[in-house]
Chain A
Amino acid sequence: MAEIWRLRGRRGWAAALFIAVGLGAALAQAGSTTQIFDPKTHKWINYDRKKARQYYAAHGQVPDAFRRQIVPFRTAEKPGTIIIDGNQHFLYLVLPGLKAVRYGIGVGREGFGWAGIVRVGRTAEWPTWTPPAEMVARDPNAAKYANGMPGGPDNPLGARALYLYQGDQDTIYRIHGTPEPWTIGLDVSSGCIRMNNDDIVDLHSQVQVGAKVVVLMQGAALYKGV
């Protein structure tokens, strides 16, 4: 499976690594600095590609800030709502009592591309992935899956996918997992939000179809089209 993604080139490879660990925007924001939140000092620390590599190699997981945790979150949005902050690489699932589950996320190399209010139109376990037409045309490995790659441990959408709808219309944007972080380099994915498989399984288990999803306007490519 890895061959498909290896063709993405150096940039794609790097994106694969960091998106997988919730740091995609480190690359998405070329020229700007990604920061991670240190809950101990309550400060934001500059976090670059090198540090991310070192951290992941040393710890085998992402920094504290990007791990799933329950945080105080004062909002008027009702429990069950998802709020996506692409700039800070956090996805919040609103809980009762002014709290939220906060997950680390990666956004596509080209950013999310839009902001606004959508809803979870449907969800899938071990979803099928269909490469977009331009990727099929360009990449013979992707062409093998022109009619869809069945769900499973190698599928780039990972263990679960939440399909985002506007009204009854599929927006083509998804919140999805990732099975093997290092194999992902989808530049088709502007608009998609990636989470570690454990996290997407956890989120999927708590989210109802119809749940409101608020995508904030902050973040690199989020401004496109705003």
Chain B
Amino acid sequence: MKALWQSVCTVAVLSGGLLQAAAADLVVAAPSWPSGQASANIMKVALEKSLGIKVDVQDMGTLIAFTGLDTGAVDVYPEVWRPNFDTLVQRYVTDKGTIHLSPRNVPATQGLCVTKKTYDEFGVRDVADLKDPAKAKVFDTDGDGKGEMWIGATGWLSTDVERVRAKSYGYDATMTLLEMPEEVGMSAVDAAAATDKPIVFYCYSPHHVFQLHEIKQLSEPAFDPAKWKIVLQADDPMWLSKSEAPVAWKPSSFSVAYAAALQKRLPQVAKFLDNIDFSTDEVTAMSYALEVERQDPAEYAKQWVSTHEDRIKAWLR
């Protein structure tokens, strides 16, 4: 009896899946962040308009999307960040071959940023400047002589790395490192910019803050794999003392991923996805439109497609 129930349930689940698949020719997974939402919707609008296929956009994060791409439940994922998800790329793209990664990518950066005012008038231009007690003091908001800076949200992998970098560069002695939700960190930038107060903070791009304010990234020694020794907090309670990273982050990027089977099932779509070449500025603009201007992703996508017909045509060739 139990076995029968199991098979009935399996059939029901399968039928549900088939019904869902039949409703759309293509399923695009959309990550929660604004540029991911915008680009997923741009793909939907452009493909429906140009190829007459039905496209569904479904919200999901990278891990679930990769599982879906592997099993066939998902066809496209617009932003695979590297090196963050290199282990997934290795497993599904390189080893299994079930997922294809576009040869094009959007360059991304992370590091420490200041407002242009801070850069020009307070002379904070390089990460090493933060070690200078006199320069660090301009960021002091509690009268203890040390500056304060937001290094990311608690729980972010990058936040632990920023703590390691502060220790490795030595500015952990001159700056107090603050962990807060991103909205608190970004609102502090807004308030500093509104009153011309200096501020330094962890930043990553593409991000709408670069369009909202005049922002400069601090220079620092280039990434060197030989000097990058990161032990994660989750792996070792002594992670901080065992880690060293007195150099910039490894350059990162993100690319479109799609189910490899798409190359046979919908070759025109596969070609289109391989040709998508958003620039960093375009991705920043998407983030700004959705996050700051609060535009609806679907409406924004319609507008974008109607004003970028040449780009869409080029991607279809």
Hey, what's the 0/1 contact readout for B215-255 against A, CB within 8 Å counting as 1?
00000000000000000000000000000000000000000
Verify if A75 is at the interface (C-beta below 8 Å from B): yes
- Measured CB to CB, the closest approach of chain A to B185, in angstroms, equals 8
Is B194's CB under 8 angstroms from A214's CB?
Answer: no
- Classify the interface of chain B: helix, strand, loop or mixed: mixed
Name the B residues within 8 Å of A222 (CB-CB).
142
Contacts of A87 in B (CB 8 A): 141-142
Complex-state Cα separation, A223 to B190, whole angstroms: 19
Proximity bits, A85-119, B CB within 8 Å = 1, else 0? 10110101000000010000000000000011100
Q: In chain A, what residue has the closest Cβ to B140?
A: A32
Residue from the list A88, A221, A226 in contact with B191, Cβ < 8 A: A88
Contact B181 A117 (CB under 8 A): yes
In this complex, the member of B178, B181, B187, B196 whose beta carbon has the largest number of chain A beta carbons within 10 angstroms is B187
A1-44 vs B, Cβ < 8 Å mask (1 yes, 0 no)? 00000000000000000000000000001111100010000101
Answer whether residue B184 sits at the interface, using C-beta atoms and an 8 A cutoff: yes
A217 near B194 with CB under 8 A, answer no
CB distance A116 to B180 under 8 Å?
yes
Structural contact, B190 and A78, CB atoms closer than 8 A: no
Whether a CB of chain A sits under 8 angstroms from the CB of B173 is: no
Q: Say yes or no: A77 contacts B190, CB within 8 Å.
A: yes
Query: CA–CA, A78 to B187, complex, Å?
Result: 11
Contact of A76 with B291 at beta-carbon distance under 8 Å, contacts A88-B195, A214-B187 already known: yes
Q: Are A214 and B178 in contact (CB under 8 A)?
A: no
Complex Cα spacing A12 to B298, Å: 56
B residues within 8 A CB of A42? Answer: 196
A216:B197 contact, CB within 8 angstroms? no
Q: How far is the CB of A54 from chain B (nearest CB, A)?
A: 23
- Give, as a whole number of angstroms, the nearest-CB distance from B192 to chain A: 9
Is A73 positioned at the interface, with any CB of B under 8 Å from its CB?
yes
Nearest B residue to A87 by beta-carbon distance? B141
Q: Report if A223-B212 is in contact (Cβ < 8 Å); known contacts: A78-B294, A116-B184, A216-B184.
A: no
- The digit string for A189-217, where 1 denotes a CB below 8 A from any CB of B, is 00000000000000000000000001111
Are B187 and A216 in contact, with the CB atoms below 8 A? Answer: yes
Whether A83 sits at the interface, judged by CB under 8 Å, is yes
Is there a chain B Cβ closer than 8 Å to A137's Cβ? no
Chain B residues closer than 8 Å to A221, beta-carbon distance: 142
The chain A residue with its CB closest to the CB of B177 is A226
B176 part of interface (Cβ distance < 8 Å): yes
Per the bound structure, the CA–CA distance linking A73 and B141 in Å amounts to: 20
B183 at the A interface (CB under 8 A): yes
Q: Which of B143, B291, B294 makes the CB contact (< 8 A) with A29?
A: B143
Q: Is A166 an interface residue (CB 8 A)?
A: no
Asked if A164 is at the interface of the complex by the 8 Å CB criterion, the answer is no
A153 to B279, CA, bound (A): 60
Distance in angstroms from A40 CB to nearest chain B CB is 14
Using a CB-CB cutoff of 8 Å, which residues 156-210 of chain B contact chain A? 176, 178-181, 183-184, 186-188, 190-191, 193-197, 208-209
CA distance A44 to B209 in the complex (A): 25
Is A219 part of the binding interface, using a Cβ–Cβ cutoff of 8 Å? yes
Q: How far is the CA of A88 from the CA of B150 in the complex (A)?
A: 17
A217 and B292: CB pair below 8 A?
Answer: no
Asked if A220 is at the interface of the complex by the 8 Å CB criterion, the answer is: yes
Q: A162 to B5: give the CA distance in the assembly, Å.
A: 55
Closest Cβ–Cβ distance, residue B89 to chain A (whole Å): 30
> Which single member of A29, A117, A217, A223 contacts B188 (CB below 8 Å)?
A217
- Chain A CB count within 10 A is highest, among B142, B176, B179, B213, for B142
Chain B residues contacting A219 (CB-CB under 8 Å) are 141-142
Measured between beta carbons, the chain A residues less than 8 angstroms from B194 are 71-74, 92, 100
- Can you list 6 pairs linking A and B with CB atoms under 8 Å apart? A30-B143, A75-B190, A76-B292, A85-B191, A90-B195, A214-B187
Which 6 A/B pairs are nearest by Cβ-Cβ distance?
Answer: A32-B143, A218-B141, A75-B190, A87-B141, A85-B191, A214-B187
Known: A78-B294, A83-B187. 9 other contacts (CB 8 A): A29-B143, A32-B140, A74-B212, A75-B190, A76-B291, A83-B191, A216-B191, A220-B141, A222-B142
